[in-house]
């Protein structure tokens, strides 16, 4: 079932389109990784899907209905986004912060219901951050903060989560931990859409790759098919080789450092 159906989308900040003529669709259960160079329009794409940006022209459908016909709280109940950074890190308790994920489901006069508390608890358990429950956000490390943000998104929606560069600032430990978590969520039925800089991680974990170049879709498909030396080299204008990852069997790219030019020419 198609969750997002996008046709001829032009979108951007102000009037100049960053995204041009995007036509694609996201199906239920997809684990899509969006790759591309900086400025290609990846974050813009994500933001447009979240209804944060008005498209200049084109059509986006969410679950069959136009995206912009949805009420904001209705959308919030079905879709969660984890932004790249939290604009303002306040000394809130982790528990409360994750609790804000339940906001779209609460009325003005509601107190936190039992159901809300349970869902928050489960989110913390799934992301393995239960031990951080009573800590303040300001005390957490980068990786822990990211996990807590994911817990919050999980409390908001278990079906569809969008991520904007979730692992860009993290160490290997947290990177694998988070990607494993996303994989787990995906196998439990969530649709995941992530912007990633790390092609290899995307190749390992994602079921679907979408590459953006200069605001248009350069290629898309399953990693085995589309992550090739030629495609990645033309995507980034940088020479790369591709080899199979011996552990997962997915294609890994190896960009060529400058100093190896001499080695290769010989």
Partner 1 sequence: MKKKYKYILLAILGGLIIISSLSFGSIFISPQDMISFINGSGELNELQIILSLRIPRLVMTLIVGASLAVSGVLFQAILKNPLADPFTIGVSSGASLGACFGIIFYMSDLFILLGAFVGSICASSFVYLISKLRRFGSSFLILSGIALGFIFWSTVLLLFALSPAQQVHKALLWLMGDLSIARYSMLWRAVPFSLFVVGLSCIYHRHLNIIAFGDEFAHTLGVTQRDIRNLFWIASILASVSVALAGIIGFVGLIIPHIVRVLFGSDHKRIIILSAISGAIFLSLCDTIGRSIASPYEIPIGVITGFFGGIFFLILMMNKGVSE
Report how far residue 153's alpha carbon sits from residue 205's, in angstroms, rounded to the nearest whole number: 20
**Choice between 34 and 98, CB closer to partner 1:** 98
Question: In terms of CB distance, is 9 or 80 closer to partner 1?
Answer: 80
Two tokens, residue 66: 């136009």
Q: Is 231 exposed, middle or buried (0-12, 13-18, 19+ CB in 10 A)?
A: buried
Q: What are phi and psi for residue 56, nearest 5 degrees?
A: -75, -45
Q: Shortest CA distance to 36 belongs to which of 261, 190, 184, 218?
A: 218
Is 11 or 227 the residue whose CB approaches partner 1 more closely? 11
Interface ranges with partner 1 (CB under 8 A): 47, 50-52, 72-73, 75-77, 79-81, 83, 86-88, 90-93, 96, 100-101, 103-104, 106, 108, 156
The distance of closest approach from Cβ of residue 181 to partner 1 in the complex, given in angstroms and rounded to an integer, is: 19
CB of 90 to partner 1, least distance (A): 5
DSSP state of 31: E
Q: Which is nearer to partner 1, 106 or 200 (CB)?
A: 106
Q: Which is nearer to partner 1, 86 or 242 (CB)?
A: 86
Q: Which is nearer to partner 1, 6 or 82 (CB)?
A: 82
Measured from the CB of residue 94, what is the shortest distance to partner 1 in angstroms? Answer: 13
Buried b (16+ CB within 10 A) or exposed e, 96-132: ebbbebbebbeeeeeeeeeebeebbeebbebbebeeb
Shortest separation between residue 179's beta carbon and partner 1, angstroms:
22
* E-assigned strand segments in the chain: 2-11, 19-27, 31-36, 55-62, 65-66, 80-82, 160-164, 191-195, 208-213, 216-221, 240-244, 251-255
Element (H, E) at 177: helix 172-187
Least CB distance to partner 1 at residue 213 (A): 25
CA distance 263 to 227: 25
Give 34's Cβ-side CA count (13 Å radius): 28
Tell me how far, at minimum, the Cβ of 148 lies from partner 1, in Å. 12
CB of 177 to partner 1, least distance (A): 23
């Amino acid at each position: 079932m198609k969750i997002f159906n996008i046709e001829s989308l032009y979108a951007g900040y102000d009037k100049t389109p960053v995204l041009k003529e995007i036509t694609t669709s996201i199906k239920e259960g997809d684990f899509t990784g969006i790759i591309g160079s900086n400025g290609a329009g990846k974050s813009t794409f994500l933001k447009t899907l979240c209804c944060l940006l008005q498209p200049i022209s084109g059509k986006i459908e969410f679950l069959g209905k136009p995206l912009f016909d949805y009420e904001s709280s209705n959308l919030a109940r079905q879709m969660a986004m984890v932004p790249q950074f939290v604009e303002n890190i306040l000394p809130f308790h982790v528990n409360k912060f994750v609790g804000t994920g339940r906001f779209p489901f609460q009325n003005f006069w509601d107190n936190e219901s039992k159901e809300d508390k349970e869902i928050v608890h489960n989110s913390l358990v799934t992301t393995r951050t239960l031990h951080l429950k009573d800590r303040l956000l300001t005390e957490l490390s980068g990786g822990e903060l990211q996990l807590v943000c994911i817990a919050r998104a999980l409390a908001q929606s278990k079906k569809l989560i969008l991520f904007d560069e979730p692992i860009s600032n993290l160490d290997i430990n947290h990177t694998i931990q988070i990607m494993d978590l996303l994989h787990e969520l995906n196998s439990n039925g969530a649709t995941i859409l992530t912007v990633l800089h790390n092609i290899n991680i995307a190749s390992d974990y994602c079921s679907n790759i979408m590459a953006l170049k200069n605001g248009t879709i350069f290629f898309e498909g399953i990693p085995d098919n589309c992550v090739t030396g030629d495609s990645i080299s033309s995507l980034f204008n940088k020479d790369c080789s591709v080899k199979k990852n011996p552990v997962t069997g997915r294609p890994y790219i190896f960009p060529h450092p400058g100093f190896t030019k001499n080695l290769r020419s010989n």
